Amino acid sequence: MSATRYLLILPLVAVFAYVALVGLIYLSQRALLYPGAGATPVPEHASWGETVHIKTPDGEMLQGLYSQGDSDKPCVLLFFGNGDRLDNYAFVAQALTTRRIGLLAISYRGYPGSTGSPSEQGLLTDGIAAFDWLSAHGGSEIIVLGRSLGTGVAVNTAAKRPAAGVILVSPYLSVLSVAQTHYPFLPVEVLLKDPFRSDLNIGKVGQPKLFLHGRLDDSIPLSSGQALYRIAPEPKRMLIYDGAGHNDILNDRMVGDVIRFVEALQGNRP
């Protein structure tokens, strides 16, 4: 092959490879965004809480774990991250139980123990269904807590339901903006099916808000959480953990900050 022909063919090969890559990512994006879906089932005897089942308005059945607190104490409604699972939160449940605070954590549709397949609209529907179930069964004030992907579910839920407070652990401005950071060479805005635009919803969340983020987070950059914090209405507070990344932020210090926020909210009630 002559050098001239080679130089003509090379750009075509590069274009073909790029288009193939874009197509592959488009088709596999939900598997990438929801890696915990379809994983190993939740153990029959969970390490904390009572197993509950919550029916969504569109007919899915969600599995949750529920640890009921005292009737005069708030209950935390937890929306976990995209690769997480219910039985990872025993230490959180135990810490809340010592303060007589309840906890409900749900497994999103398509995740272990729940029916259906995950999508943005599906997860947002799951969040509302969980809040309504807890409101009907718990009878106490509800503090919404989201972690990572779950912060988008938490923001949407608090924008549409009367949560007493909101805790966002490793939040993002949007999944769209995070994807653009990680894949600057792709037309993410065109490809992404589930953008989770917390930036469009946070203005409707007037409840007290606590933002928690690790300075070393390389999955959801601190700058994304700070951008969401800046546009969030008062009252709000942000705590940055200097030595923490994305996965090691869940520790005793963070749980202590969560408990102090929850108890401060209750202490400010008339």
16 pLDDT exceeds 90?
Answer: no
Q: pLDDT category, 243, cuts 50, 70, 90?
A: very high
Is residue 47 helix, strand or coil? coil
Strands 61-67 vs 50-55: parallel, antiparallel or unpaired: antiparallel
List of E strands, the chain: 50-55, 61-67, 75-79, 102-106, 142-147, 165-169, 209-214, 236-241
Q: Are 141 and 266 in contact (CB under 8 A)?
A: yes
Of 119 and 18, more confident: 119
Tens-place pLDDT, residues 53-78: 999 999 999 999 999 999 889 999 99
